[in-house]
Amino acid sequence: MARHGGRGWHGRVFAAAVGVTAVAAATSVWTAQAGPFSGQHSGASAHPSSAAAGAGRTTPVAVSIVHASDQGARGVNITIDDGPDPVWTPQVLQVLKDNGVKATFCMVGTQAQAHPDLVKAVVAAGHRLCDHTVSHDTTMDKKPDSYQSKEILDAAAMITKASGGVRPLYYRAPGGAFTPYSRHLAAAQGMRPLGWNVDSKDFERPGTAAIVATVKNELSNGPTILFHDAGGDRSQTVAALREVLPWLKQQGRSFGFPVR
């Protein structure tokens, strides 16, 4: 999984994250729940089927990075990163609704904290939540364990609070910067590490046609497709989804969630 480079947006998110000290203090109980882990979390929980999936008691899940769809060999997973955003997330939600598609939204903690109404809208529409850290630091794998823990657990607490109590079911490292520590920590908290197979390159805004072509050309790589609903003008993403989702249906694909 290639890292995403050249995102001036990251600096703005990181700056916003500096202001979450009070939130970090308020989530010390959550952090304490992480507890020790031994690398033996290999059992997956049952597949939640409701919008409230993830609420309640934490059950450890597998530590390996998942790509597979719970819809089997013909399934695809639509994943949406970096939001929620007050301009683009509602538009993405509408396109998904129009096509009867459920997706996984990988949310940045500060964005979720700033827009709890959108987090709740995502959950109410039957989509799933994913922890994408507090500050979207793509150098996570170069940082101390204590830093990784704070980024992951504080974001999970922020997203859970914003959602009204629904926990994220997955953890996606920014830019794919996973570490053994971060994977085990997330899995111990019931968040399956989530990768991707198809990077639509929508973040680079190459044009709607280019985004659609990338998805079509790379779908053979695997079922999990990466899009974005924040970090700048996402109009090309919205337009691409309007084309891609019906095309996937025409190919006999079914839409699901990453396995847990």
Active-site residue list: 81, 228
C-alpha 138, offset from chain centre? 14
Q: What is the DSSP string of 56-99?
A: SS------SPB--BTTGGGEEEEEEES---TTHHHHHHHHHHHT
- 129-164: b or e for each residue (b if 16 or more CB lie within 10 Å)? bbbbbbbbbbebbebeeeebbbbbbbbbbbbbbbbe
Q: How far is CA 111 from CA 159, 201, 209, in A?
A: 9, 21, 29
Residue 94 makes CB contacts below 8 A (sequence gap 6+) with: none
C-alpha 250, offset from chain centre? 26
Where helices occur in 143-192 by DSSP H, the ranges are 145-163, 180-188
Is the Cβ–Cβ distance between 256 and 75 less than 8 Å?
yes
DSSP-assigned beta bridge partners for residue 128: 104
Query: Helices 88-98 and 235-250: crossing angle, nearest 10°?
Result: 20
